[in-house]
A and B are shown apart, each in its own frame.
Chain A
Amino acid sequence: MSVTVFVPRDSTALALDADAVAAAVLAEARRRGADPTLVRNGSRGLFWLEPLLEVATAAGRIAYGPVTVADVPGLFDAGFLAGGAHRSRQGPSEAIPYLARQRRVTMRRIGVVDPRSLSDYLANGGGEGLTRARAMAPADIVRVVIESGLRGRGGAAFPTGLKWRTVLDAPAARKYIVCNADEGDSGTFADRLSMEADPFGLIEGIAIAGLAVGASGAYIYVRSEYPHALAALDAALAAATDWLDGFRIEVRKAAGAYVCGEETALLESLEGRRGIVRAKPPLPAVAGLFGQPTVVNNVVTLASVPDILARGAASYRELGVDRSRGTLPFQLAGNLKHGGLVEVPFGRTLRELLYDFGGGSRSGRPLRAVQVGGPLGAYLPASRFDTVLDYETLAAIGATLGHGGIVAFDDTVDMAKQARHAMAFCARESCGKCTPCRIGATRGVEVIDRLRGGKPGQSELLRSLCDTMIHGSQCAMGSMTPLPVLSALDHFPEDFR
């Protein structure tokens, strides 16, 4: 029987030359008269090891990484097709400590399955949730999701089941599921990895949401900066037509506006307009896409649903702490030695993620600041590294967990520059609807420039401006931009002198 070799095809692996490695493996195999079967899986999320090549042996899958094209002949010499020793050998994939210490639930199939193969998905435990949901009453599906404690993973952390119940109870001829795949936050890639490495998991979650609320169809709004996620979804949906049994899911490509990650701006964009934030109420659950009741959920939220249906609410709810139940796929990013995806239950500390998983800085210099929760998240200094990672603990210290992105900076960072960037980014991306955001962000850049120039009284002015933005902005773009700004000012005042 032919040996199976896995070389990932997600965009991180591709960005590190995985296509060339895959081609080199096949060419070298031919030269040596071997005939391995090549499977293009997704990454397991251990990005510093990409391209991570795996080979299926009697003892399970053995990993080698990072592998370059130049390494390939040596791998054959070492007998890697039988799991032979090589300096890049990482041992059995699932025993790599970075992976073994995680609790993969939502992301259990990334790197394991072929993202183009529905049969592979179903053979690896996929589909059970949808099968169960099809035999349940809509209200029962909603109840399971409520009982699981699942909250929106896009950043707002609203209880998912309650949102679904509102849509279920809203009388309307048409209802929609909208998947928010406009993952614009720097430091985040969980949505991307979910779509590229396990697209059927997301599709199944959407189909279950559709059954739960009685939706007539669904849209996935994917950012244009994610061409490989778009391709993976298109391919998966083409393969899933029969499995979905008539439920129509359409992929829509966004067009490069960060604010369209805000749910009402996203709906405007889907309707073919400029992505301008809508006033709430009405909530999208009452009057959303085309004025109809609409569930708007993030990718990870929806991808978490199949497992909850398959294994029961309790299996999910028993993980986590306090009001943060289940797991969060954290994303270790920026200046870290071992960046990647770390799915663990809520309740670990920032320090554990940065050092036990992340291995400290990539540069070898001390870590000085960590931005948690994307461009609208606070910068935390080393004195806050023991913060427990759950929604309420972060909120209590003026920070946010957001979508679970963690961006590390070493001691060369200039925090006044980072604060200025936060304001400049808001000025660039503001939809323009409300004044505190549209004008405030521009004034914010100017005030920070004067502050850095040594003009007196500017930090008071900056705080006052931030106060206006926090309380006067219509959505998170304007009201949360002050988080990185004020946290930089509070924790790193020496950089503003």
Chain B
Amino acid sequence: MNATLQTILSRHGDRDGALLPVLHEIQDALGYVPAEAVPLIAKALNLARAEVHGVLTYYRHFRQTPPGRHVVRICRAEACQSVGADALAAHAEKRLGCGFDETTPDGLVTLEAVYCLGQCAVGPALLIDETAVHAAVGPDRFDALIDALEPRK
């Protein structure tokens, strides 16, 4: 992990406003931003540890602990609300057996809310991991998407 961090930090040292790009790269590489990274980032970017901590904890995108093997983010904003997002959210909690901002006991899925994926004409929408956007998701489609995450052996 230290080698990964040092590589990332050496790439961004003299970039203007480097902190967010650095945190993104660390999270993309490790899945979260570990506590041990904070002093290293602070030193490399000439910031106080408190500043790094403040930014890390301010933005919801950044994680301080590893998520489940997959992250499922259901849009809960107005446009999706108007076509059943609340019902989908309730179904998801029941199907997964965990609440929002929680991870299933088997570590398969972390369930989160997101406020808008820009799919407002074709909701309800959700995002699986970094790029897999799905629209017009009802309960059956949700179950199929979850079943497809990791085929049972």
Q: A residues engaging B (CB < 8 A)?
A: 11-12, 14-16, 47-48, 50, 183-189, 192, 224-228, 231, 252-258, 269-275, 290, 331-336, 339-340, 362-363, 371, 375, 405, 407-410, 413, 418, 421, 425, 429
Q: Which residues on B sit within 8 Å (CB–CB) of A408?
A: 82
Q: State whether A334 touches B20 (Cβ < 8 A).
A: no
Q: Which residue of B lies closest to A231 (CB)?
A: B131
- In the complex, what distance in Å separates the CA atom of A111 from the CA atom of B75? 25
CB under 8 Å from chain A, chain B span 112-128: 114-123, 125, 127
Q: Which residues on B sit within 8 Å (CB–CB) of A371?
A: 78
Q: Which residue of B lies closest to A14 (CB)?
A: B133
Which of B51, B75, B121, B125 makes the CB contact (< 8 A) with A336?
Answer: B121
Which of A184, A272, A332 makes the CB contact (< 8 A) with B116?
Answer: A184
Q: State whether A334 touches B82 (Cβ < 8 A).
A: yes
Q: State whether B133 touches A339 (Cβ < 8 A).
A: no
Question: Could you list some 12 contacts between A and B, CB below 8 A?
Answer: A11-B118, A14-B133, A189-B118, A224-B24, A224-B61, A228-B133, A258-B115, A273-B55, A331-B121, A334-B83, A409-B82, A425-B115
With A226-B118, A255-B59 given, is the CB distance from A15 to B135 under 8 Å?
yes
Which of A257, A290, A418 makes the CB contact (< 8 A) with B16?
Answer: A290
Q: State whether A186 touches B77 (Cβ < 8 A).
A: yes
With A256-B59, A275-B58, A362-B83 given, is the CB distance from A189 to B119 under 8 Å?
yes
- Residue-wise interface mask of B (26-50) relative to A, using a CB-CB cutoff of 8 A (1 in contact, 0 not): 0000000000000000000101000
Which of A225, A270, A275, A421 makes the CB contact (< 8 A) with B117?
Answer: A225
Which of A187, A273, A331, A339 makes the CB contact (< 8 A) with B78?
Answer: A187
Additional A-B contacts beyond A12-B122, A331-B121, A340-B121 (12; CB < 8 A): A11-B118, A12-B121, A15-B134, A15-B136, A186-B115, A228-B133, A231-B131, A257-B59, A375-B115, A407-B82, A410-B82, A421-B78
Q: Which residues on A sit within 8 Å (CB–CB) of B16?
A: 271, 290
The distance from the CB of A416 to the nearest CB of chain B, in whole angstroms, is 14
Q: Which residues on A sit within 8 Å (CB–CB) of B58?
A: 257, 274-275
Q: B residues engaging A (CB < 8 A)?
A: 16-21, 23-24, 45, 47, 51, 54-55, 58-62, 75, 77-83, 114-123, 125, 127, 130-131, 133-136
Q: Which residues on A sit within 8 Å (CB–CB) of B136?
A: 15-16
- In the complex, what distance in Å separates the CA atom of A187 from the CA atom of B119? 8
Q: State whether A333 touches B17 (Cβ < 8 A).
A: no
Q: State whether A334 touches B78 (Cβ < 8 A).
A: yes
Q: State whether A15 touches B122 (Cβ < 8 A).
A: yes
The distance from the CB of A482 to the nearest CB of chain B, in whole angstroms, is 16
- Of B47, B55, B125, B134, the most chain A CB neighbours within 10 A belong to B55
Q: Which residues on B sit within 8 Å (CB–CB) of A421?
A: 78, 81
Q: Which residue of B lies closest to A334 (CB)?
A: B82
Q: State whether A272 touches B17 (Cβ < 8 A).
A: yes
Q: State whether B82 touches A255 (Cβ < 8 A).
A: no
Q: Which residues on B sit within 8 Å (CB–CB) of A407?
A: 78-79, 82, 120
Q: Which 4 A-B pairs have the closest CB atoms?
A: A339-B121, A186-B77, A333-B120, A272-B19
Q: State whether B20 touches A15 (Cβ < 8 A).
A: no
Q: Which residues on A sit within 8 Å (CB–CB) of B117?
A: 11, 225-226
- In the complex, what distance in Å separates the CA atom of A269 from the CA atom of B18? 10
Q: Which residues on B sit within 8 Å (CB–CB) of A15?
A: 119, 122, 125, 133-136
- In the complex, what distance in Å separates the CA atom of A47 from the CA atom of B121? 7
- In the complex, what distance in Å separates the CA atom of A252 from the CA atom of B12? 13
Q: Which residues on B sit within 8 Å (CB–CB) of A331?
A: 120-121
- In the complex, what distance in Å separates the CA atom of A258 from the CA atom of B58? 12
- Of B24, B47, B121, the most chain A CB neighbours within 10 A belong to B121
Q: State whether A225 touches B118 (Cβ < 8 A).
A: yes
Q: Which residues on B sit within 8 Å (CB–CB) of A183?
A: 116, 118
Q: Which residue of A lies closest to B18 (CB)?
A: A272
- In the complex, what distance in Å separates the CA atom of A14 from the CA atom of B60? 25
- In the complex, what distance in Å separates the CA atom of A192 from the CA atom of B122? 14
Q: Which residues on B sit within 8 Å (CB–CB) of A189?
A: 118-121
The distance from the CB of A9 to the nearest CB of chain B, in whole angstroms, is 12
With A224-B61, A255-B24 given, is the CB distance from A185 to B121 under 8 Å?
no
Q: State whether A186 touches B135 (Cβ < 8 A).
A: no
Which of A184, A253, A255, A410 makes the CB contact (< 8 A) with B115?
Answer: A184
- In the complex, what distance in Å separates the CA atom of A408 from the CA atom of B78? 9
Q: Which residues on B sit within 8 Å (CB–CB) of A273?
A: 19, 51, 54-55
Q: Which residue of B lies closest to A184 (CB)?
A: B116
The distance from the CB of A265 to the nearest CB of chain B, in whole angstroms, is 11
Q: State whether B116 touches A225 (Cβ < 8 A).
A: yes
- In the complex, what distance in Å separates the CA atom of A228 from the CA atom of B134? 13
The distance from the CB of B23 to the nearest CB of chain A, in whole angstroms, is 7
With A186-B79, A225-B116 given, is the CB distance from A253 to B21 under 8 Å?
yes
The distance from the CB of A404 to the nearest CB of chain B, in whole angstroms, is 12
